[in-house]
Amino acid sequence: MYADAVLSVFSQRYSSARDKFINNVETSSIIERLTHHPHPLKGPKNEKLFCDIAWAGNPKAENIIVLVSGLHGVEGGAGSAIQADFVTRYRRLPPDVCVIL
C-alpha cells in the first residue's frame, strides 16, 4: 500500500534513523561521498551522537540543495524521513545540481 511506503521512511528513534540513513546512503547510486563527524557529548540515553554528511551530484554545481534532518525533537524525525525518501527515490541529478544531506 501507498501508506506503508510513506511510513517506511520514518524511524522511531535516533539510532534507527541514523542506521537507515547510512544504509540507504551506502547502497545508493546517487551518493558520491559520506563523512561521519562524532559529537563530543552523549545523547539523552547515553548514546553516541554523530553528524553524518552525504553529497550527491556535482560538487561544483551552481545549484546546491541542503536537506537537514533537524537538531532535536519532532523536526528531526520528519527531516530524516525526507532524506531517506530522497536517497532511495532519486537515481541521478541534473549536472548543475548538488544535494548535501
pLDDT interval class at 34 (50, 70, 90)? very high
The answer to whether 54 and 24 are in contact (CB under 8 A) is no
Instruction: Considering only residues 14 and 45, tell me which one the structure prediction assigns the higher pLDDT.
Output: 45
Domain ranges of the chain: 2-100
- Residue 37 pairs in a beta bridge with 51
Look-up of cell digits 528531526: 76
pTM: 0.80
pLDDT more than 70, % of the chain: 91
Cα–Cα dist 96/62, whole Å: 6
